Amino acid sequence: MEWRTVVVIVLVVSLCFFIVPIRVGPDKAVEEDAELFAKYVARYNKSYKNEPAEYNKRFEHFQKSLRHIKKLNGLRSSQESAYYGLTKFSDLSKDEFLQQTLLPDLPLRGQKHMIASYYHQHLTSSVNRVKRLTGIPSKFDWRDQKVVGPVASQESCGACWAFSTVGVAESMYAIKNGTLYSFSVQEMIDCMPGGNGCQGGDICSLLSWLSTSKTRITSETDYPLTLRADTCRLPKIAAKTSGVIVTDFTCDSFVDAETELLTQLVTHGPMAAAVNAISWQHYLGGVIQCQCDGSFNSLNHAVQIVGYDTAASIPHYIIKNSWGPSFGDKGYIYIAVGKNLCGKINEQAACNISR
């Protein structure tokens, strides 16, 4: 065999060794992603499992979510830091998550309240957002007082504004009267004048209407949740049911004044708050410390603040969400205190309630 032939054979064999890994590596990763996606679709019983075109579209979003989750987990600074993984939202693009789950127009809704008599802005030094706490405990959780209702799921209905406000009303009534009742979120969705039902709303507008009109918030039993906007049934059932009335409220901005917020939380009760939840798409647990813009123009969701823990290794707020108990930590999210994260925490709701 001539030496040229030997050289050609060696080169061809060598090229085979180089070519095979380059071609197989990505295919194997895609196969693993596909297997993981199939399990994901089955777990969450996704409706598109038998629709090839939609299935492939969702798979692409799912792969991007996997890469983003890896990046987020790479930013963890400790075992207590927020950690991320697959959720029921992981097959959505970031824009779809914003449009379908959150309230993109919340900043526009919120601007009109800044000139209202019930709006108060609390300002302290931005250098020291959380001053030394005096007169309040280092840890407080209203759930320990049995005045916080169970975590609800808004599903595809964009009524976080109603869930958070009604949740605070439930807590305020329980603090005052010693009994926790479930009030009607559906009444807010159907009956608020000028509201958009499942398409959006805001905390302060809802409270303003309830307080001015003296409209009673009825019980969940008398006006059950359907999670779709419908004709208001309150006139038909008003004579047959009792309820509570919001007698007074304020909407407060606590940006750069978190000590005041903590004090209000302890001395008054849980609060409804406007936040930026765009980074929560893949949240599983732990304390959010970064990747959560705190500007007013980024507000897009409403939640309840039910407590805090400043004695923890990462001081944090305890946030009750409305995406069901399977999301986050049994429906709850934790956000670091002292960093003005997630647009927090803008609005305090339902100060005084009577039956």
Q: State CA 347 to chain mean position distance.
A: 15
Residue type, 133: L
Catalytic: 321? yes
Beta strands in the chain (DSSP E): 83-84, 119-121, 139-141, 217-218, 243-248, 251-253, 271-275, 283-285, 287-288, 301-309, 316-320, 332-336, 352-354
Distances from the Cα of 28 to the Cαs of 18, 42, 172, in angstroms? 17, 21, 55
Q: Which of 113, 157, 160, 251 is catalytic?
A: 160
How far apart are alpha carbons 316 and 339 in whole angstroms?
Answer: 10
Q: How far is CA 39 from the centre of its chain?
A: 25
Instruction: Determine which one of 61, 113, 282, 301 is catalytic.
Output: 301
292-309 burial string, b = 16+ CB within 10 Å, else e? bebebebbbbbbbbbbbb
How many C-beta atoms surround the C-beta of residue 230 within 10 A? 12
Q: How far is CA 261 from CA 15, 101, 133, 281, 329, in A?
A: 66, 27, 11, 26, 23
| Selected catalytic residue, list 198, 251, 292, 321 | 321
Q: Which residues are catalytic?
A: 160, 301, 321
